[in-house]
Amino acid sequence: MDLQAVAAIYAFAVKVLQIFAMLFAFGLVVLVLYVVYLYLSDVSQTKQAIRRNFPVLGRFRYQFEHLGEFFRQYFFALDREEMPFNRAQRSWVYRAAKNVDSTLAFGSTRPLNQPGDIVFLNHPFPTLAKDAVPPREVTVGVGVARRPYTTRSIFNISGMSFGALSVPAVRALSRGAAKAGIWLNTGEGGLSPHHLEGGCDIVFQIGTAKYGVRDENGLLSDEKLKAVAAHEQVKMFELKLSQGAKPGKGGILPGVKVTPEIAHVRGIPVGMDSISPNGHPEFRHVDGLLDMIQRIREVTGKPTGFKCVIGNSDWLHDLCEAIQKRGPESAPDFINIDSADGGSGAAPQSLMDYMGLPLNRSLPLVVDLLAQYGLRDRIKIICAGKLLTPSMVAWALAMGADFVNCGRGFMFALGCIQAMQCNKNTCPTGVTTHNPDLQQGLDPVDKAERVYNYAHNMEHEVGIIAHSCGVPEPRMLRRAHVEVINERGTPVPLSELVPDVKPKSVIASDRGAS
């Protein structure tokens, strides 16, 4: 290389360095000006004391607070200490949905001395593979509804409305549910073509706003009800009284999520907050509830029940007594019990944290009350509330439930990472957002397979628990198969804490009557 070439390269290098030096100096000036702007902005504002007292530096406090959510989830939280679902629970769902090996090595990370936790009692002679059978069929509305519903499913998709969920999420749930042979509850947002797309069984939920079946006054329309019932896939109707995360409060869908399609399905204006009433204006007592159930069942010809969170139990006695006076044909075909720790896309924290009974209290309460009044065979029990792992589904069946519903477990199967952005239209996985750029990450075909895998593996592992307990299928689990850890860290029989109840000719009320 001659000296002229070296000199040219040297000159070029010097020029590049000069350009970078000028850019650096320019950037430094811009940065200083930006810091000065932040300083003046912070010391002149009056809304945040930290920023006013510690200008510029105080801003990091709010950034760290936001980033802390993600650092805790990925770096600091232990496997079993997060809320509402810890890493161990989520990991099981992810493995089940991907249909990968779900076995663990070395030993359990679950302590066996935490009050309230459950353990199952294994049998010395477990059910052999050749003796195991699928869950038995259960018929809802037999002898009452013109078209009763029969299914073997034990684990189904809970009510999550179109609007709260995105289009690809609903499409994936519909397809996956059809392949798994389970039902999909529409939630209170109405019936969309995406629910019907996969060909699955559907439970149509009627909320307080009557979305999808409302007249011009917002009340229930028999004609629209008939139109929904005309779909062969719609198997049952569920009247929603309350929801686990917000009993006493109607559904909330922020206006940013009310797209033209969602507005059309619901029958509401585009872009406006969709806020349901906190109760049904058509009835305000148990007789009115029974009248409404009978009306829906008569119009549709299909099994009809209601969903609620249990709080005060006096009304349940009134309901059972009213049914006894009217006759068993007047009873709801099912009751869906939602736990106080159920989920929601948007709910006031005061209700989410403090209102209603958790399922470990409300499920035995309702099951035993129906048994006392001789209505347990007539009314089927569905339950929901953080039941997304095999142990909790098996516990619910042992406690007396006929079916278990789950919403957030199927959201995890769709790819949810518990980002807690459901109410902001910014869900990073496309499950609860209507932003097309974020929805593109959720492939309905791939996620439908994961929905199927999750439901299939759930039934399989609940069956493993049942077989270990010595019964051939999950619906034969009983309270005698479960023990609960007490406050001393010792297991005690569930059948002693909550003994089975047999029908009595005279019902003893728990309402203070002597």
Interval 304-334: pLDDT, tens:
999 999 999 999 999 999 999 999 999 999 9
Task: Give the pairing of strands 304-309 and 234-240.
Answer: parallel
Per-residue model confidence as pLDDT tens digits over 172-211: 999 999 999 999 999 999 999 999 999 999 999 999 999 9
The identity of residue 473, as a single letter, is E
SS3 state at 384: strand
Q: What local confidence, expressed as pLDDT, does residue 506 receive?
A: 38
State the chain's maximal CA–CA distance in angstroms: 113
Model-level pTM?
A: 0.86
Burial (Cβ within 10 Å: 0-12, 13-18, ≥19) of residue 265: buried
512 pLDDT exceeds 50? no
**Other Cβ atoms closer than 10 A to 262:** 23
CA 390 centroid distance within chain = 16
Question: Rounded mean pLDDT of the chain?
Answer: 90
Chain segment 131-142, per-residue pLDDT in tens: 999 999 999 999
User: Closest Cα to residue 162, out of 235, 198, 212?
Assistant: 212
Contacts of 207 (CB under 8 A, 6+ apart): 187, 188, 189, 240, 250, 251, 276
Question: Cα–Cα distance between 482 and 122 in angstroms, integer?
Answer: 9
17-21, 62-66, 167-171, 388-392: least confident range: 62-66
Tell me the β-bridge partners of 149. Answer: 140
How many Cβ atoms sit within 10 Å of the Cβ of residue 506? 5
Assign 509 a pLDDT band (cuts: 50, 70, 90): very low
| Helix H or strand E encompassing 184 | strand 183-185
Domain with CATH 3.20.20.70 in the chain: 129-474
Give the residue, 134 or 78, on which the prediction is more confident.
134
Residues of the chain with pLDDT > 90, as a percent, come to: 63
- Return the closest-CA partner of residue 244 out of 382, 380, 120, 147: 382
Q: What is the mean pLDDT of residues 424-447?
A: 91
**Is 507's pLDDT higher than 90?**
no
Fold of 129-474: TIM Barrel (3.20.20)
Note the pLDDT tens digit of each residue in 36-53. Answer: 998 999 889 988 888 888
pLDDT per residue as tens digits for the range 454-503 = 999 999 999 999 999 999 999 999 999 999 999 888 899 988 888 877 66
The pLDDT of residue 510: 42
Residues in Cβ contact with 198 at an 8 Å cutoff, skipping those fewer than 6 apart: 171, 173, 174, 175, 176, 177, 178, 179, 448
Please name the residues in contact with 438: beta carbons below 8 A apart, sequence gap of 6 or more: 426, 427, 428, 429, 430
